[in-house]
Amino acid sequence: MSKDPNSISQVLPSQYGAQGPTDRRLHKNAGWRLYLQTVVARAYPRIIGQQREKSWLFFDILLPLLSVCAYVFVYQAIDAPEDYIGFVVIGGAMTAFWMNVLWSMSSQLYWEKEQGNLALFIMTPTWMMAILLGMALGGLLATTLRALAIIILGSLFFHVQYAVSSFAQLFAVFILTMVSLYGLGMMSASLYLLLSREAWHISNLAQEPIYLFSGFYFPIKNFGFWISAAASFIPLTLGLDAMRQLVFESGPSLGFLSVRVEIILLLILCVVFLFTARQMLAHMEKLAIREGRLTENRR
């Protein structure tokens, strides 16, 4: 027998019991337990990663907050009503979620492909949907912290006055917005499976135009019905509009649709995006395998 303490015959009996690996089976989760285990496993690096790398406090909170301040000062320079400053603070906080969905959900499978992890994900005996859900949950928790910090600091700095008309509706709107938004992210992640270098540019392109049409810094109602309706495809458009109606005094008069209608629409978006994400992921995965794009590295 080998004297090497790391040799397999020395290590395995202690790990699998005195009788060795063949006599005792490893406990393996299956079904919903495996699904949950996968979700937690993929969410873990998202949450723990930011604890280990503190520079995100500067890059993800302070710098976006300064951009928010710039837009607030524009409103102050042109003597805008006070509530518009609150609109910018809330919109600025919500940009954190859009950035997270864009760069850490939609593009994530592209990054994984670049890193060489995607093939490992596919061959792992678990669900890709669970991996995406883990990504979403981890990203959502981490981003909520950032968004909250931006709201708290922005509100304190600019003395934003809130007049919440219904906490229950506000909570419902936020949850539905997040579920549908991350559903959209999961759906687009499957599309990105087929993309190569253009993925980066598409994500880059989907910033300012979305800030514009989703009304991150002003009420979307000003665009008129049809443009606002088209922009409502992005859940943040309806979510932001409903949140502003619920937390600002002048909000209801500047709202695009009533909060109830927006909640119903968000609910529909949740179902549509999550269902479509599931279908598209299965389809795109097959397509990517068939076309040999899972390990493709066209740089």
Partner 1 sequence: MLPTKPETYKNKPTIFSRSFRTAAWLGWQIESNWTDPFLFAIYSIIKPLAGAAILVVMYSIITNGDFADPIFTYIYLGNAFYLYVGAVMSGISWAVLDDREHYKTLKYMYIAPINVPTYLIGRGVAKFLVGSISVFITIIFGVLFLHVDVDLATINWPLFFSSLAVGVVMLAMMGLILAGISLLIVNHVWFIGDAVAGALFLFSGAIFPLETLPVWLQPIGYIIPISYWLELLRRSLVGSVAAAFPTFENLSNLQLMGILIGLTILFAIIARFLFRYCEHVAQERGLIDMVTNY
Question: Does residue 128 contact residue 285 with C-beta atoms inside 8 Å?
Answer: yes
Question: 119 vs 30, 49, 127, 189, 279, CA distance in Å?
Answer: 21, 22, 13, 15, 20
Task: State the minimum distance, in angstroms, from the CB of residue 79 to partner 1.
Answer: 7
Question: 219 vs 50, 61, 91, 144, CA distance in Å?
Answer: 33, 24, 10, 22
Task: State the minimum distance, in angstroms, from the CB of residue 5 to partner 1.
Answer: 29
Task: State the minimum distance, in angstroms, from the CB of residue 80 to partner 1.
Answer: 5
Give whichever of 152 and 227 is closer to partner 1, judged by the CB atom: 227
CA distance between the termini of the chain: 50
Task: State the minimum distance, in angstroms, from the CB of residue 43 to partner 1.
Answer: 12
Task: State the minimum distance, in angstroms, from the CB of residue 59 to partner 1.
Answer: 5
Give whichever of 138 and 183 is closer to partner 1, judged by the CB atom: 138
Question: Does residue 189 contact residue 109 with C-beta atoms inside 8 Å?
Answer: yes
Length of the chain: 299
DSSP string, 52-91: H-TTHIIIIIIHHHHHHHHHHHHHHHTT--HHHHHHHHHH
Task: State the minimum distance, in angstroms, from the CB of residue 292 to partner 1.
Answer: 20
Give whichever of 16 and 111 is closer to partner 1, judged by the CB atom: 111
In one-letter notation, the amino acid at residue 293 is R
List contacts with partner 1 (CB under 8 A).
Answer: 45-46, 49, 53, 55-56, 59-60, 62-64, 66-67, 69-71, 73-80, 84, 99-100, 103-104, 111, 114-115, 196-198, 201, 204-205, 207-209, 211-212, 216-219, 222-223, 299
Helical H segments across 159-258, by residue range: 167-192, 198-205, 208-213, 225-231, 235-247, 251-254
Give whichever of 169 and 192 is closer to partner 1, judged by the CB atom: 192
Give whichever of 9 and 117 is closer to partner 1, judged by the CB atom: 117
Task: State the minimum distance, in angstroms, from the CB of residue 68 to partner 1.
Answer: 9
Residue 155, C-beta contacts closer than 8 angstroms, at least 6 positions apart: 86, 89, 162
What secondary structure letter does DSSP report for 104? I
Give whichever of 9 and 67 is closer to partner 1, judged by the CB atom: 67
Give whichever of 86 and 278 is closer to partner 1, judged by the CB atom: 86
